[in-house]
Amino acid sequence: MITIKEVTFKNGLKKFVTFPFDLYKDCEYWVPSLIKDEMETLNPDKNPVFKNAEAFYYLAYKEKEIVGRIAVIINHLEINEQGKKKIRFGWLDMIDDIEVTKALLDKVYQKGREFNLEYAEGPVGFSNMEKAGILTMGFKEMNTMITWYHYPYYAEHMKQLGFEKQATWVEYRIKIPDTIFEKVAKFSKIVRERYKLSVIRFKNKKEILPYVEDMFGLLNKTYNTLQTFVPIQQYQIEYYKKKYFSFIHPDYICCIKDENGKLIAFSVVMPSFSKALKKANGKLFPFGWSYVVAAQRKNDTAAFYLIGIDPEYQGKGVTAIIFEEMQHLFNSKGIQTVETNPELKENTAVQLLWKDYNPQQHKERSTFRKDL
C-alpha cells in the first residue's frame, strides 16, 4: 500500500531533500545537489520567490520506506499576470513503480483543481533560474549543477499516465580547437569597430557586482518570448546573486558594453563542477569545498551557463566577440570541452551560435503536461 504524507520545512523536509541520495546511491552519472542549498530553496523563510508562490511537499511511503517525492508549486505571478492557469510540479523522484508515480501526481491534480487551474506541467522549479525537465536522452552522461539526472523510467511513467511532452531542451558538447577560427577573430574585430563595442574585464568578484542586475535585465529581454519564461523579479536577483556567486570565477565572465558604457551582452561560463559535487556528496563542509576549489583551478571541461544579448544587438555578430574572448580563456586554462546549458529546442537562434564548433547533442530533457 502506498501512503502519501505532506512534509514542511519544520517537519520532514530533510527527508524530502535527501531521498535522491538513496535512490541514486549506485548511479555513477547522478550529481547531487547541495543539501543546504536545497533546504534554503524550499524554505519560505529563506527564498524570496515565496512572495509570489506557494509550494506543497509530499513523500510517498510503502510501509515505512520512502519510495518517492514531489513538490507541487503555484506561481501566482505566472497565473495572474501571464494568464497561464498552470499548476507546477518539481523535485519529482520515485522508484520504478508506476503506482508510486501515479499517487504522487494525484496530489498535483488535487491542488490544481483546488486552485481552479487548467493543466499541470513539470518537472520545473519556481522560476526559469531553476532546474527543469525530465531527462529523455543522455542517461550515460553526468548532469551539471543546474540540471537534474533521471533514470529512463521517469519519462515512461509520464507517458503511461497520459502526459504529453510540452517544452523540450537540448544540450550539446563542444570540442574547443587549439587556436581560434580565423573568421571568428576577423568578424569579432569588425563588429567591435562597427558598433563601437568593448569588453569589460574583471580582476575579482567585487568588480562584477555592479553589473549583476544589468545581466538579469538582459536575461529578461533575451528570453521573454520563449514559452517557459516568467520574468525574474528584483528580489529573486538578490537571492540568485547570493546563491551562485561563490561558484563564479571572474575570469569566466564576459561582459560587452557600448560606447556609452551600457551593458549590451554577457556570458557566464564556469569550470565543470559535476565531478567535484559528486565527490562532495551534497555537503561543502568539511571537505566539499576543496573539491570545488580544485575544479576551479584545474579542469579540462567547462559549462556555458548563461548568455544574454540586448535585442537591439541580436543578429549583429556580438557572439563573435564572446566566442573570441572565451576561446582565449579556454586555451589559457586548458579547457578542451564545453557543455552548453539546456536550450529550448525551438530556440534555433541560440543553437546556431555553436555551428562552427561542430556541436554534438548529448542530452535532451522535456517537461510533461496534462490537462486537469
User: What are the φ/ψ torsions at residue 20 (nearest 5 degrees)?
Assistant: -60, -25
**The pLDDT value given to residue 246:** 66
Model confidence pLDDT, tens digit, residues 299-352: 999 998 888 888 899 888 898 899 899 889 999 999 999 998 898 888 777 777
Q: Name the residue with higher pLDDT: 246 or 127.
A: 127
Model confidence pLDDT, tens digit, residues 25-42: 999 999 999 999 999 999
Q: Cα–Cα distances in Å, from 18 out to 67, 154, 192, 274, 282?
A: 12, 18, 49, 18, 9
CA distance 136 to 364: 6
Dig out the grid coordinates for 205 from the structure: 568578484
Model confidence pLDDT, tens digit, residues 87-99: 999 999 999 999 9
Q: Supply the mean pLDDT for the chain.
A: 91
What is the C-alpha radius of gyration for the chain, rounded to an integer number of angstroms? 21
CA distance 313 to 165: 33
Q: Report the predicted TM-score, pTM, of the whole model to 2 decimal places.
A: 0.91
Q: What is the mean pLDDT of residues 131-155?
A: 96
What letter does residue 337 receive in the DSSP assignment?
E
| Helix extents (H) in 224-317 | 234-245, 274-280, 288-297
Residue (of 159, 176, 369, 346) closest to 272 by Cα position: 176
Amino acid at 367: T
Residues 6+ apart with CB under 8 A from 355: none
Residues 6+ apart with CB under 8 A from 82: 230
Q: Name the residue with higher pLDDT: 132 or 81.
A: 132
| Domains delineated in the chain | 2-171 (3.40.630.30), 174-363 (3.40.630.30)
**The pLDDT value given to residue 77:** 87
